[in-house]
Amino acid sequence: MYDSSDLKKGLKFQIDGDPYVIVNFEFSKPGKGQALYKCKLKNMVSGAQFERTYRSGEKFDEANLEEVEMEYLYADGDTYCFMNTSTYEQEFITKEQLGDALGLLKENIVCNVLLFDGRAIGVTLPNFIELEVTNADPWVKGDTASGSTKPATLETGFELQVPPFVEEGEFIKVDTRTNEYVERVKK
């Protein structure tokens, strides 16, 4: 059980059987009366967001969340199959549950899958992923202005900005938290 004094950004708890995460948090103590905790909450299953204010002394149930290491196997229409690397059980996750991770998802990559009461509700990719550049404009001599970038398409179909010296067929490291180019990778 959590108390209202435990509330902070990123805390996950359960309301009416659904898991919620605090996206934004403000504390105020008026001159008279109880302290107020104004929270912006996000439903971790549906993605719906709303604001709610709590008073000091209120109690909250912990969400039954578990992170499990799983390997991405294949896509089947709008569902994506992940296999638990220790039990070999398979979980299917929808396109909506994957969210932003979908653009960088590559077969056989090991991810952390968030489970709520035994069912998958989200995926966290590793911080860095190595992907092949499948389409990039050629580098023209003289294109050396500092800070210049060009668009490149990766093997997953994701498009991002890369330095002008990155060419088609090369492998690059991408930061999955910011979806930005990090460095070239020698294969």
Digit-coded pLDDT (tens) for 114-141: 888 888 888 889 999 999 999 988 876 6
Residue 31: which CATH number? 2.30.30.30
**pLDDT at residue 83, rounded to an integer:** 94
Total domain count for the chain?
A: 3
Given 17, 32, 62, which residue is the final one in a domain?
A: 62
CA distances from residue 73 to 70, 110, 120 in whole angstroms, order as listed: 9, 9, 15
Model confidence at 146: pLDDT above 80: no
Whether residues 116 and 133 share a domain: the answer is no
User: Which tens digits make up the pLDDT trace of 104-113?
Assistant: 999 999 999 9
Q: How far is CA 134 from CA 115, 137, 183, in A?
A: 34, 10, 16
- What is the rounded distance in angstroms from the CA atom of residue 174 to the CA atom of residue 100? 14
How far is the C-alpha of 48 from the C-alpha of 53, rounded, in Å? Answer: 17
Query: What are the pLDDT digits (tens) for 58-73?
Result: 999 988 888 899 999 9
Same domain, 48 and 81: no
Here the CATH number for the domain that contains residue 78 is 2.40.50.140
Taking only the tens place, the pLDDT of each residue in 21-38 is: 898 999 988 888 888 999
The distance from CA 181 to its chain's CA centroid, rounded to whole angstroms, is 17
Give the C-alpha separation, 92 to 69, whole Å: 14
Kindly report the number of other CB atoms within 10 A of residue 52's CB atom: 12
DSSP designation for 47? -
Query: Domain of 107?
Result: 65-124
Average pLDDT over residues 92-113: 88
